[in-house]
Amino acid sequence: MTEITRPPVVTILGHVDHGKTTLLDFIRKTSVVLKEHGGITQAIGAYQAQADGKPITFIDTPGHAAFEKMRSRGVRLADIAVLMVAVDDGVMPQTVEAITHIQSANIPMIVAVNKIDLPGVNVQVQLEKIKRQLSDQKVLVEEYGGDVPIVPISAKTGQGVEDLLETINLLAEIHELKGDPEISAVGVIIESRLDKFRGPLATVLVRDGSLQKGDNIKAGETAGKVRGMFDWAGKAVDLAGPSMPVEVLGFVQVPAVGVRLGEDIKKAEETIKQASFLDKLRQSETQVLAVVIRADNQGSLEAIEDVVGKLNEGQQHLKVISSGTGDIIDSDVELAATARAIVLGFNVKVASSAHNIAETNHVLIRTYTIIYELMEELQEVVEGVLQPTATEEIFGRAQIIAQFPYGKGERIAGCQVLEGTISKGPKVRVLRDGQVVEEGKIKSLKKVKEEVSKVEKGQECGMIFDGIPQFQVGDLVESYRPI
């Protein structure tokens, strides 16, 4: 576990026309990190600004309703909320609503009193009035003995905005915001849409851990694999750490806004595995995957067949048994069932009756709207089949959820069994991010304080390994036997 100080995640709420958009625009134009990009066009509803050399992540939530929707799902969207109050209006109905949402989310608040540049307004008198109004809503500012900072600003001219950013950083330091970049990413979907050229896209706020290109992902009921990531300026990135917002390409379907990313990742990996070409190919005795192809037009069809031809150079791994234009219909699936093939579709629909036949006969149908995604998966098939694979039996898997010192230089791995059975006899290996870290055996297996011979799914246990000195919280322990 390697915790680091992470940037605060800030959301801005308040009454309509009190200056939220103006403030965000000012910060974006003056403080957003754009040196590398020579300018910025906001591609996603989140970005990072700098204050005193320290990054701050701003989430531009579309309104109180979306904020409430995320809160009701138990999602901690932000670390700090800025409540916008116009100096001339004071606390208004939507201000009260925003206060309720912030208090319900149980996050620290900063009050930004905006429009102090308005002519004819006695700022000091109005500030005192706003402080009393806030106290009626159980919001006590520091001058009234509370812990809520109040910062007068003009979002239009920028007066006081630097003070606001410094206050955000000070509050972040007080609350000691931490993140562990070495664990798998946990985050929140803050925007999602279907792009007709790139497919399902989702803006992900990485709350903790790191998200990398190639990672398997799951958000709600939607799984996928990260095929591309883009930062707030639209620049492609391969890694997103704690508190970083990124737009992610690779979901099978458009995920719902407000759902968590990273939950039940094992299930996501299994979902992807069940639907993978490579898994189908390895079930084949001939190591040749039969394919039925349907495309929207002849040009697309020829492009796909050309890709297959190039991937088959040297040795055939993909065999096109039928191809043509038009939607996927019953006869396509029936042919695939007979030939133990899969069906690929590009920019086409699948008839409902064909879906039913596919489910009954366990035929895999994959459809695409983006040509390079189809090409990448076909490439993975060929690369995967060229790699030698060992045959083995997996007995069980467990996740390390804690570690404790034991004896001279040894440690106990506190584990929860995720599937199957873990016992002392078979070999075990420790995996991190899908890669084998160490291999060895279990020399001690305890449930509570008693030595046991095995533990089963859902149970917790303590393991002392023989030959596995390197392990950490979050690793997987896999019990197996070569065949």
| Number of domains forming the structure of the chain | 4
Residue 27 half-sphere exposure, CB side, CA atoms within 13 Å?
A: 29
Average of per-residue pLDDT across 39-56: 71
The per-residue pLDDT for 36 is 35
Within-domain flag for 354:
yes
Residues 135-185: pLDDT tens digits? Answer: 999 899 998 889 999 999 999 999 999 999 999 999 999 988 988 898 889
Structure tokens at 34: 């754009």
The residue among 339, 365, 386 that closes a domain is 386
Helix, strand, coil percentages, rounded to 5, for the chain: 25, 40, 35
The per-residue pLDDT for 286 is 53
Average of per-residue pLDDT across 274-290: 55
Q: Are residues 381 and 396 in the same domain?
A: no
Give yes or no for a contact between 363 and 387, defined as CB atoms under 8 angstroms apart. Answer: no
Within-domain flag for 270:
no
Q: Are residues 31 and 142 in the same domain?
A: yes
- Angle of CA points 280, 330, 289, to nearest 5°: 20
Residue with more model confidence, 423 or 381 = 423
Residue 69 half-sphere exposure, CB side, CA atoms within 13 Å?
A: 15
Within-domain flag for 235:
yes
Q: Are residues 347 and 240 in the same domain?
A: no
Q: What is the CATH number of the domain that holds 461?
A: 2.40.30.10
Give yes or no for a contact between 343 and 289, defined as CB atoms under 8 angstroms apart. Answer: no
Q: Are residues 226 and 364 in the same domain?
A: no
Q: Are residues 161 and 199 in the same domain?
A: no
Residue with more model confidence, 63 or 144 = 144
Mean pLDDT over the full length of the chain:
81
Q: Is the pLDDT score of 270 beyond 50?
A: no
Q: Is 38 helix (H, G, I), strand (E, B) or coil?
A: coil
- Position 26, amino acid: F
Q: What is the CATH number of the domain that holds 281?
A: 3.40.50.10050
Within-domain flag for 271:
no
Q: Are residues 282 and 327 in the same domain?
A: yes
Residue with more model confidence, 308 or 211 = 211
Residue with more model confidence, 476 or 103 = 476
Q: Are residues 217 and 106 in the same domain?
A: no
Q: Is the pLDDT score of 209 beyond 60?
A: yes
Average of per-residue pLDDT across 422-451: 86
Give yes or no for a contact between 368 and 294, defined as CB atoms under 8 angstroms apart. Answer: no
Q: Is the pLDDT score of 4 beyond 50?
A: yes
Q: Are residues 347 and 382 in the same domain?
A: yes
Within-domain flag for 214:
yes
Give yes or no for a contact between 305 and 293, defined as CB atoms under 8 angstroms apart. Answer: yes
Q: State how far the Cα of 133 lies from the Cα of 100, in Å rounded to an integer.
A: 14
Per-position DSSP letters for 42-110, written without gaps between them: --SSEEEEEETTEEEEEE--S-HHHHHHHHHTT----SEEEEEEETTT-S-HHHHHHHHHHHHHT--EE
The residues, any chain, with a CB within 8 Å of residue 443's CB and separated by 6 or more, are: 424, 464, 465, 466
Q: Are residues 439 and 380 in the same domain?
A: no
The residue among 113, 144, 178 that closes a domain is 178
Within-domain flag for 65:
yes
Give yes or no for a contact between 316 and 288, defined as CB atoms under 8 angstroms apart. Answer: yes
Give yes or no for a contact between 196 and 368, defined as CB atoms under 8 angstroms apart. Answer: no
The residue among 160, 178, 196 that closes a domain is 178
The per-residue pLDDT for 211 is 93
Q: Are residues 156 and 8 in the same domain?
A: yes
Q: What percent of the chain has pLDDT over 70?
A: 85
Q: Is the pLDDT score of 271 beyond 50?
A: no
Residues 344-382: pLDDT tens digits? Answer: 888 899 888 888 888 777 778 888 877 777 777 777 666
Q: Are residues 442 and 474 in the same domain?
A: yes
Enclosing domain of residue 285: 277-386
Q: Are residues 301 and 406 in the same domain?
A: no
